[in-house]
Each structure stands twice: as C-alpha cells, then as structure tokens.
Chain A
Amino acid sequence: MESRDPKQGSQESLNDQDNLGKKANRKLTLKLVAATIAMFGFGFALVPIYDIMCDALGINGKTSSVAVEQPIALEPDTSRSIRVEFIAHPNPHMSWDFSPKVASMDVHPGEVIQTAYLAFNRAERTIIGQAVPSVSPGLGASYFNKVECFCFNKQPLEGQSHAEMPLIFYIERDIPESIHTLTLSYTLYDITDTVAKPDATAQVQMVTQSNQLQGATP
C-alpha cells in the first residue's frame, strides 16, 4: 500500500478530490432515488396498464364497460353457431333473486340478440345493485359487444319489486373458429351503502320489444 507524506503538497487537491467524489456520489444517489420513485409510480401505473393489456389482448374475461353503437347493416354469419350461456350469480349478501331470462341460446356471429335478466328484491328496503360481468373463455370477451347492458348501471330496485334488466349484444363475425361456447356471467353486488344517491339515469328500464333495436344507448 502506498503511503504519502502528507506534508508534501496537494492537501488542497485531496480536498478537491474528496469534494468531487462526494459530488459524484450525490449525483448518482439522486439518480437512483429518482429511479426508485419512478418504479413506485410504475407499480401504480400497472393498474391502468393491466386494464389496457387485458382490453387489447382480450384476456381476463372483462367485457367493455361502455356500450357499443348498434351496428348498421351487420350481416349475421349463418354458417356457424355459437352457444351463449347466461349465468346469474347473486352475491350471497344480496337479497335479490337474480336469473337470466333464458339460460342459453345459439346465436350466429353478427346477429344482434336481445335478452334480459330478471331481478326480484326480496327485502323491504330499496337496494342498489351493480352487476359485474365476466366472460369465459377470456379471449371471447373482446368479441362480445354489448349495445345495451344493465351492467353499465347502478340499479336501484325498491323493496318487493321485480325488474327485467335488458341486455342487447352481438358477437363479432371474426370470432375465432375455436370458440364454440361463450359463457356470460354476472355477479350481482349490493352497493347501496357505497353509493350516495343513484344517478338520475340509472333507473331500471322496463324493456319492451319496440324501443330497443333502434340504437338506443344509455
């Protein structure tokens, strides 16, 4: 190990070196702290990134939460048929009876289908429900387009009342050949306590045949 006689020169340059070194350290430290903060932000950014990736790749079975435009002049592909199953899964804490109007149906890709889910509030009080959709297989979700869906809304329902909640959808024509069956499941949650007051627009719509199929979107 070298040793130097401290009395000979450059005490100043040593101090300079020392300061330069400390400066270099501080600079690098700050860069690394910035990187840390950026990664913390990235962790939170993963939340919207996850949604975007799922949407783009059509995975995780989440259908879009906005309505699509009623397609004009969409020709159904009659050469193939897809079985669509409807599942209603009321959360057990929910005092509603909840069921699909039709348990399953065969549809052609491109065909606009109208159906509904039935709900009955067994309790005395008004309960606001929120239906959360999930599609299986997950990849099928991106081909499943909803023109109108009660799942977009918070649904208030008075005590001891019935409701028929509309669902209008079509399956895109280019849905892969490998998909033969689509299962659409709605899990129904009681969100009365988490909602201050229901939207004016979120009223349960009593569906009649005539006022659908005209491209009505909520």
Chain B
Amino acid sequence: MKRIPLTVWLTLEVFAATWASSSFAEDNVLNMTQGVTQISEEVYHLHMLIFYICCAIALVVFGAMFYSIYKHRKSKGAVAAHFHESTKVEIVWTVIPIIILIAMAIPATKTLLAMEDTSQSDLTVKITGSQWKWHYSYFEQDIEFFSLLATTQNQIDGIEAKGAHYLLEVDNPLVLPINRKIRFLLTSDDVIHSWWVPDFAVKKDTIPGFINEAWTKIDKPGVYRGQCAELCGRAHGFMPIVVHAMAEDEYDAWLEGKKAELALAKQQAVDALSSELSMEELMQIGETIYVERCAVCHQANGEGIPGAFPAIKGSKIATGDIDVHIDTIVNGRAGTAMQAFANQLTEQEIAAVITYQRNGFENNTGDVVQASDINSFNTPSQGSKEGQ
C-alpha cells in the first residue's frame, strides 16, 4: 500500500509551515505580520507560540500513528494485541493536554489584558462604517471626512493594469501620529462592518446604534492598509482602510493643513450655491460623481439590478417630480440600502448628479438642477455631521 506518500506529504506540510513562518518572519505573504505596535508584536509572538506547540503535538501524535502504520501492518506479519482499555493511560492523556492548555492560556490572558489597557489616550478618532466606505472624525478637532476606495472600476474590470495597491488604496487616508495612544470609537450607519488594520492588530466590529472602542499606539511611521472584515453587502471587498502614520510634528502640521483644506472646500461649496453651471458642466461633474458613488448599486449603465437595486434609466423618480428626486438623494430612503448623501456630497455635486441622472440613460428630461435648488431644499452644508 502506498502509505509513504502520505507520510511524506504530512511531514512536508509541517516543515513547510514551520519553514515558511520562520524564514518569512518579516514577510507577510505567508504569515501574520509582526506589525508596528507593541500589541501587534505580542499577538504575533503568541500566534507563533501556539503554532509551534501545535506542531510539536502533531509531530508526536502523527509520528506515533505513522510509526504504527508502518510497524503494525498485517502484511508484514503483525499480530494484533488484545488490549483495549487503560484507565491510567486515559488519565495521563487527559491531564497532559490540560496542562498544555493552561500553559497556552497564561500568555494569552496576559496579552488580552494588555489589549484592554484603558489608560488615558492622547487622541480620539470616531470611525463610522457605512456601505461601502469609512468616515473618520477627529474628536474635538473639527476634522471629518469620508474615505473611499480609490481603485478605478477599469482596473477591477481588467481594462487597465492593476496598480501596486490594487483594492488597498483610498482617496482620503486616516492620518495618525506615532507614539501617541489613539482611541478609536467605532459605529456604523447601516449594517455591521469591521475595521481591521493587521499592522496594528486592531479589528473591531462597527455596529449600528452602538459604540465600540479600540486603541493603538503606533511605533513606526508608514502607510498601513487594512480591509473591512465583516460581510456588509455587495462591495464588502471594496472598502479598504489606509492609515498614514507620521511623526508627531508632521501630524500637527497635517492637522492644520487638513483643517484649512476642509474649510476651503466648505467655502467653495457655499460659493457654489450661488453659481449657475451649464448643462455640459453639470453633466461632466455628475458623471464623475455617478461613477464614484452611484454605479456600485445602480450600475454603470443605469439599469440597476432588478429586484435589488432600481434602475435610473426610465425611473419614475429620475423623470418625475424633481423634489422627490432631490429628497431621495439628499435624505436617502430609510429601510432600504439607499443612503442619504446630504453629508457626503456638496450641493453642487448633488445637483450635478441629479442633472446627470435626469438627462443621461436616455431619460432626457432636459431638467437642469443647480446647487441653489438643493440648498433651498434644506440640505446642510458639507461636514455638518456635528458633534463628532
């Protein structure tokens, strides 16, 4: 019988895993990352410890088994013994595993308690997950922004070559200082998402209506990438997390710059309220917004997914009462997956995308919607998700 390939295979697997983990200790192509925080390092070492213990147990148990398969074969003349019980032995191999488990539980408990360190943090960031992006709000800093996947649809569809950070790049990364204790407050606007950055060993579910907390203290500057880790609908795989960690003085400078940038954007949005754009300009802006924000559900061709996401093409809303159309986009539709875009887009952007929807996809209503129309519909100016 061909037992040998089985033995060889198993041995190879155990060695491969051990080899892979040791020689790729720094490389996270095959193994967990050591990360850039004290906690992430502790977690990595805990992971390796448990793994090695499992390998050792496997070697002993499978070793005994394969030895037996080799030695106690009928074809080689083995004659079966008759023993079939031994209380002593049973006790031994019940007690020894318990001891091994206790040995594992001690460092595991230690690391877990360290992760629950509740000493004062230096900075708090509120993270809100929603379909399918993250929102970051710096507590008491008046800085908040959305962070969306930056990889283009063309790359996903294979029309363009994929970039180095394919599916792991965003338009607005979360920027954090190193060497400061950072507290994250996490919640969600719709379904359960999960914020995960492997290099920090932080993974926490974001639950609608509830606030969760997590913390980290980053030791090394750099760019760290993570992904949503809880199935949240069709674009679950397309809402990455990117964190830029930088030295404290750089971070302070960034804060000032970002505040200025946001203030400028706010001002521009306000200025846009009084400007009138041409149909071409609105259609151009509208198309960009549509591709970035709407196509994920309503599809690039505006035909939606029947039964799941309504079509824009020929839709009663896109060809009917303009106020209903505006309301749908500004306030969303509670109880459905249609989000409220009031806080995500400026009045001008909303006006543009509405104009695009009403005239594109062969809807051809000829309607032109301006930022002032949206404003007079009682939408807030951008960034008014106040109170962090």
Contact = CB atoms under 8 A, between A and B. Distances in A.
B359 to A, nearest CB: 26
B211 A181 contact: no
A185 B121 contact: no
A161 interface: no
Contact of B213 (A100, A136, A160): A136
A179 B118 CA distance: 6
A187 B190 CA distance: 12
Interface string B320-343: 000000000001111000011011
A166 interface: no
Contacts of A122: 378-380
Contact of A134 (B140, B183, B211, B331): B211
B187 interface: yes
Interface stretch (B28-36, B99-107, B122-130, B222-230): B122-130
Interface residues of B, number: 36
A112 B27 CA distance: 54
Nearest to A137: B213
Interface in B182-216: 183, 185, 187, 189, 208-213
Interface in B374-388: 378-380, 384-388
A157 interface: no
Contacts of A85: 124, 139, 185
Interface of B: 118-121, 124, 126, 128, 130, 139-140, 183, 185, 187, 189, 208-213, 331-334, 339-340, 342-343, 378-380, 384-388
26 contacts: A60-B210, A61-B210, A85-B124, A85-B139, A85-B185, A87-B126, A89-B211, A92-B130, A92-B189, A92-B343, A98-B387, A99-B386, A99-B387, A100-B387, A103-B139, A104-B139, A117-B387, A134-B209, A136-B213, A137-B118, A180-B118, A180-B119, A183-B185, A185-B211, A187-B187, A187-B208
Interface of A: 60-61, 83, 85-95, 97-100, 103-104, 117, 122-124, 132, 134-137, 160, 178-181, 183, 185, 187, 190, 193
Given A87-B387, A103-B140, A104-B139, 9 more contacts: A61-B210, A92-B339, A93-B332, A97-B380, A103-B387, A117-B387, A122-B378, A132-B209, A181-B120
